[in-house]
Amino acid sequence: MVTCTAPQSYKLRVPVTKAFPLQSILDLSQMKLEEATRRLGELISGEQQAAQRLELLAQYRDEYHARFLAAARDGLTRDQWRNYQSFLDRLDTAIGQAREIVAQSHQLTSAGQQEWIEKQGRVKAFDTLAHRHQARMTYAESRQEQKDMDEHASRTHVANRGDDQ
Q: Which of 12-16, 41-45, 135-139, 146-150 has the lowest mean pLDDT?
A: 12-16
For residue 41, pLDDT over 60 is answered with yes
Considering the domain boundaries, does residue 158 fall inside one?
no
Q: Rounded distance, CA 31 to CA 154, Å? A: 50
Considering the domain boundaries, does residue 156 fall inside one?
no
> Model-level pTM?
0.69
Considering the domain boundaries, does residue 9 fall inside one?
no
Q: Which residue has the higher pLDDT, 129 or 86?
A: 86
The pLDDT value given to residue 164? 59
Kindly indicate the confidence band of residue 162, based on its pLDDT and cuts at 50, 70 and 90. low
The pLDDT value given to residue 103? 98
Cβ atoms 6, 155 nearer than 8 A:
yes
| Residue 65 CB-half CA count within 13 A | 11
Considering the domain boundaries, does residue 35 fall inside one?
yes
The pLDDT value given to residue 153? 81
Considering the domain boundaries, does residue 140 fall inside one?
yes
CATH number at residue 55: 1.10.287.1700
Considering the domain boundaries, does residue 18 fall inside one?
no
Domain total of the chain: 1
Considering the domain boundaries, does residue 13 fall inside one?
no
Cβ atoms 126, 26 nearer than 8 A:
yes
For residue 61, pLDDT over 50 is answered with yes
Q: What is the phi-psi region of residue 97: left when phi exceeds 0, alpha when psi lies from -120 to 50, beta otherwise?
A: alpha
Q: Backbone phi, then psi, for 161, in 5-degree steps?
A: -65, -40
Q: What is the phi-psi region of residue 147: left when phi exceeds 0, alpha when psi lies from -120 to 50, beta otherwise?
A: alpha
Q: Can you give the residue range of the structural domain that contains 54? A: 26-148
The pLDDT value given to residue 18? 79
Average pLDDT of the chain is 87
Considering the domain boundaries, does residue 16 fall inside one?
no
